[in-house]
Structure formats: C-alpha cells, structure tokens
Chains A and B, each alone.
Chain A
Amino acid sequence: MVSQGPASITQLTTPSHVLRDMSEMTVEELRIEVLRLRDELIGAQAEIGNLRGRLDVKHRNYLALNSVHSAQRVLRGSDDDYVRAARRVLGFTRWVLLRAPRQLARKLLDRG
C-alpha cells in the first residue's frame, strides 16, 4: 500500500464517466448505479480541484516569468494541449454528473 510515484500527466485524461443504459436495470442495479454516479461525481469534483490547483501554480509561475499578456494566453489553454483537453473533458463530465442522480431518482420513484 505504497505509491510508486505520481502518474504520468499524459495518462490522466481518459474519461471514464459515461451514463449507462438504465432501462433494463433492476432496482438493486439502479441502487448500485446511484452509488457509482455519486462516486464519479465526487471524483470529478476532486479532479477539477486538482486541476484548478495545477492551473493556479501554472498561472503563478507564468506570471513570475512572463508578461501578463502571455499569462492570459496560457490560462485560456491556447498553448497547452493537456490543460485544454482536460478542461474540456471535465467540463462535460461535471455537466453530465450533476444531472444524472436526479434522472436516476426519478426512475426509482417511477418504479415504486
């Protein structure tokens, strides 16, 4: 139970949050799906916080070294593929996850 070090930054961009087809799920499967989505939501929030922290560090470092104009360009992600990709994935993920539990709750209620 000891880490082998931080993951490579290129490995961090795989989206794993996909809503599954719930039409054929039993109540127990739906309850497990609710657990999974809650887990994904917290995980996504943590990832966003993590990335925000990295962006802040990036921002501070850049400000220290370059002009304000260049720093604004970095914040937009225009010259950083990783940050740009990660922000896009996480933005979409958060959008999906914030709505999914309500959709599931409605399904559970409909099934009595």
Chain B
Amino acid sequence: MPAPRFSVLTPVYNPPVEAFEACAASVFAQTATNWEWVLVDDRSTDPAIGLLLDELAADERVRVIRRTENGGIVAATNDALHAAAGEFVAFLDHDDELTPDALAAVDEVLTADDTVDYVYSDEEKIDLGGTLCDRFRKPAWSPERLRAQNYCCHLSVMRRSLVLEVGGLRDGFDGAQDWDLTFRITEAARSIAHIPHVLYHWRMVVGSVAADIDYKPYALEAGRRAVAAHLERVGIAASVEITEFNFMAVRRRLTTRPRVSIIIPTNGTRRRVWGQDVALVEQCVASIAQRSTWDHYEIVIVHDMIDEQILERLHRHAPGRVVAVPYDRPFNFSAKVNLGALRSTGDRLVLLNDDTFIDSPDWIEVLAAHLEELDVGMVGPRLLLADGRIQSAGHYNRFGPHHVAAGFSTEEIGPYGCLTFPGERTGLTMACVMMPRRLFEEAGGLDTKLPGAFNDVDFGNKLRHLRYRLIWTPHASVYHFESLSRDPSVPDSDFVHLYQRWGDELDAPDRYLPWFAYQAAGLAHVRDEELFATIVDSKIHERIPGLGEITVDMLPKV
C-alpha cells in the first residue's frame, strides 16, 4: 500500500468527549482521500476516551498508539511523528476541527509547487457556546511578525522528512513547542506557502490558550525562549521581552557602525506647528541634532527657494554635519531625493521629509538594526500626527494604497496586536524610511514621473519586486506633520502611472495586513468579506477625514 500524502497527528489526553467526537468527525469528513490519522493516547484517565479510541482504531486509516506513561504533549506528538508514514504531517489538537476541504486545499498548493516544505492557513475559533468567531486572516510569510507572535499556528502542515531532520518537537518548550518547531522548520524550508482561507477551527475550552493565554503563563516564557533561540541560530543580536499584551518584543542591538546619510528635500516652508511659527526644515534638523543618540551621520539638505539665513542656522544646529545641495528645477520630490542620494556618502540612507520631528532618541539605531538582515530592503518608524495619534504604520492595499492605522490612538493595539510589534508591510511612508544605499541604487531611486505623491508606494513595490522585505516598527517614533510643506492633492496622471505599473496588486487584499480596515473596525467575525468590505471602508473613510470616496466601479463583484 503506497504511503499516504498526509499524516494527521493528534496527541490525546482527556479531551472533552463531545469535542473529541467533533474532531474525529472533521477528519473523516475530509474531501481528500490520501491521508492517515495517527493518534497517540498520552495515558488518558477518562474511560470514555479509551472507548472512543477503540472505535476509531477500527478504521483502517486510523492508527492509535497508547503510551505506557504520561509524557506531555511534546513526547506524545513526537511518538505520532515517528509512527507517521505520510509525506506531510498535519497537526490537529484533540479538541479542534479541520474544515472538510482542509487537506485537499493543502494538497493543491503542494502539487502546484513541489519546493513547498511548510504550509499554514487562516484559522477561526469555536467559542464556548460552539459558535465560530474570531477569524484570523493571516499575512503572507512574515518572519519578522513570527518573532513577535506565533501567527502561523493552525493549520500547520510540514514535510515529514524535514520535521525529522530538524529533530521534531523539543523538550523544554511545552506550551510553545509548535512555535519553536515552526522557527526551526522555516529556517530550513525551501519555500513556505500561506493559504488565505480558514482550514482550521480552534476550540476555546477553559484552560486552553485559544481561550486565554493567561491560563498557561509557562507557555509565554517558553515562547520567549523559543524566539531567543531562533534569533541566536539566525545570528540576530537581540534580547527578547514579553510585552504587556503577551507578544514578544525583540530589542535588536546594532552590531556595525554604518555611516548614515539623512536626506531632506526642502524649500524652506514656514508653518505653524504646536503653536509656533517655524521653518519646518530648521525644526526638523534641530530635532535630529538635539535628540539623536547616534553620532555617525550627515544631513544632506536638497533645497530650492530657501532663505540663506535658514541655511546658516541649519549649520549652527548641526555643526559639521550639514551638506547643502542646491536644486534649481521645477518641484519634483523624487528628483530632489535622487540628487541628494548621489551627493551623500553614507551606506545607509534615511529619506526624511522636512515636516518631521524626531521623537525617539534611538531612532537611527532601531531602524539600522533591522537592515542587518540582508533581505530587509527598507524600514520605517511609527509616524505620529502633531496631536500624538498615528499618522502611518506603513501602507496596506485595499482599492489602492492606504496608510495603516491613520488617525488611530497609539493606545490601540490593532487587529491581532499588529500595531504593537514590528512586521512586514507592502509599503512604507517615505516621510521617514531607512534603506541600504546599494538597494536605493539597485531599485533605480525614486521614480521622477511621480513628483509628489505615490513615489513611496512605487518604491516599496520596486523593492518587493526585487524580493526584499519592508519592515515597519513601533519601536521608534517620528512626528510627521503631513503635507504641511506642500499641496496634498494628487494629479490623475500619478494614479495612471501607478496603476500602469502595479495594477491589480493595488486593488487586491493586502499581503501582510489582509482586510486591515475590516478587522480594525471590529468586523473580524463577518464571513462574507467581499460584501462587507464596502461597509468597512466606509467606516474607515468616516474616521479619517480627507480620504477619497469609494466609487461604484471600485466595488468588488459580489
């Protein structure tokens, strides 16, 4: 008999009988046929479970292994793993359920690409009353986010040979053994796939992590150690702390001393900020010089129509650091930035608007530390409005690019905590970003055909096109008095050019924060997303003044 494609692995220890029956029913309801189910009874004391296991064992696709002593979830799962014969193993807890198409959907992905070693899917919870709730629409593969949160979790399907190669589940990580295994698998996997559909129903029972992580405090500490061990293996110098929201905060240490060039295009605009009439660029440069703890930097001012006295004052604010580059052509933000980059000397470029004000003293160190990972192309801080609300937490796509969390309080943690930890984004606001010089050049700098708006969206897409990740971090904050220094309106030609290049991707659900607006509006439980997206977008538009209107031709086909 040929080996099955999938081995579903289930360690069993005194589950609620009804939940276990539902779990079994979900396995037998699979539309795929090439599977086996390996159950390891970890010395359950409930006789009803023993009887159920006997009944299940009568099916030829089911194997029941009975341990002679209780060993915990790690030992039981490893027993199941070693008994499994399938090419891939799927992890199913004894009180959870698979959707009927779960294995078939995974099989489709694995058949389409035989380099995929790990597949994870979206998940949904079953509350104590048996109702589906809390639908988690997960991001595409996001290693940075995984360091803060075990977002992959259920359903996880891994190539069995690779799981054995990395040593299976490890002792000492009880409660976070799956997170630890996910790290080791993804470090070794050739490719990783995400299925953006719910394939797993995670039951909330009293005492389970699904109901409340506080029930298992040891799991948090095990998680912290799993993250720390992963960082050590991949060579990231950092410490790991548990946050007040029970996520992990990875505090990176910069191990190199790069020279940083801060490029600020300006025309010397004066505006009223925080009750004072100021030259924006002067305030910006003063905040850099007075607040930054990093000292290996230059400030390249690309200027036109600027008052000579302002230039003199800039030199006084940051003596020996200011490089003034005159620009004598019609306004083009992209061209000014490109010129500044060519005249700069640092190997890290910071693109900074003149209408900004540095909040976090260690902002350069925080941003630069992320760039020590070679596949990180650009990193941006949390941008704040003058009143302290969030101006941008990166970009997400939904009928075009939007700011993530614009107008939100900094107290809001966002859907699944995404505003509390660094994570991948489809784009970053160019009011403040840092990138390696070589990538700025590799990507061709900013597109001068986008002189005002969307050059950041375009540049972010170019970096992702070149296979680099963009990281947003809340661990550094910069005030951004958006569009104070220029006209915020966007000409139609910019839209045309942007859509010409990136087209459908801008309208599709976002890769890293899918349905962000939808989930942020508290509608995560709504299942018909296409229908309700319109409502949510309307809510977000009400919340953030100045956003455009949704037009009929932009609506999804329902």
Contacts and interface: CB of A to CB of B under 8 A. Distances in A.
Contacts of A11: 496, 500
B499 A12 contact: yes
A36 B457 CA distance: 17
A1 interface: yes
Nearest to B459: A39
Interface string A23-65: 0000010011011111111110111001001100000000000
Contacts of B551: 4-5
A17 B471 CA distance: 31
B443 A45 contact: no
A4 B491 CA distance: 10
B400 A46 contact: no
B534 to A, nearest CB: 14
A46 B498 CA distance: 11
Interface in B444-492: 444-449, 453-454, 457, 461-462, 465-466, 490, 492
B501 interface: yes
A16 B76 CA distance: 63
Nearest to A39: B444
B498 to A, nearest CB: 8
A12 B500 contact: yes
Interface residues of A, number: 30
Given A47-B501, A54-B504, A3 B399 contact: yes
A2 B400 contact: yes
Nearest to A3: B400
Interface size class of B (residues with CB under 8 A): 35 or more
Given A11-B496, A45-B465, A46-B461, A37 B444 contact: yes
Contacts of A19: none
Contacts of B492: 4
Contact of B443 (A1, A12, A37, A42): A42
A42 B444 CA distance: 8
A6 B504 CA distance: 8
Contact of A43 (B342, B447, B454, B490): B447
Given A28-B342, A46-B502, A50-B501, A40 B444 contact: yes
A1 B444 contact: no
A79 B339 CA distance: 46
- Among A34, A35, A37, A50, the one with the most B-chain Cβ atoms within 10 Å of its Cβ is A35
A19 B555 CA distance: 39
A1 B504 contact: no
26 contacts: A2-B400, A3-B400, A3-B548, A4-B548, A4-B551, A5-B399, A5-B554, A6-B503, A6-B506, A6-B553, A8-B496, A11-B500, A32-B339, A35-B441, A35-B445, A36-B445, A36-B448, A38-B442, A39-B443, A39-B444, A40-B444, A42-B444, A42-B466, A43-B447, A46-B462, A46-B465
Which 5 pairs from chain A and chain B are nearest by CB? Answer: A3-B400, A39-B444, A38-B444, A50-B503, A35-B445
Interface of B: 338-339, 342, 395, 399-403, 429, 441-449, 453-454, 457, 461-462, 465-466, 490, 492, 495-496, 498-507, 547-548, 551, 553-554
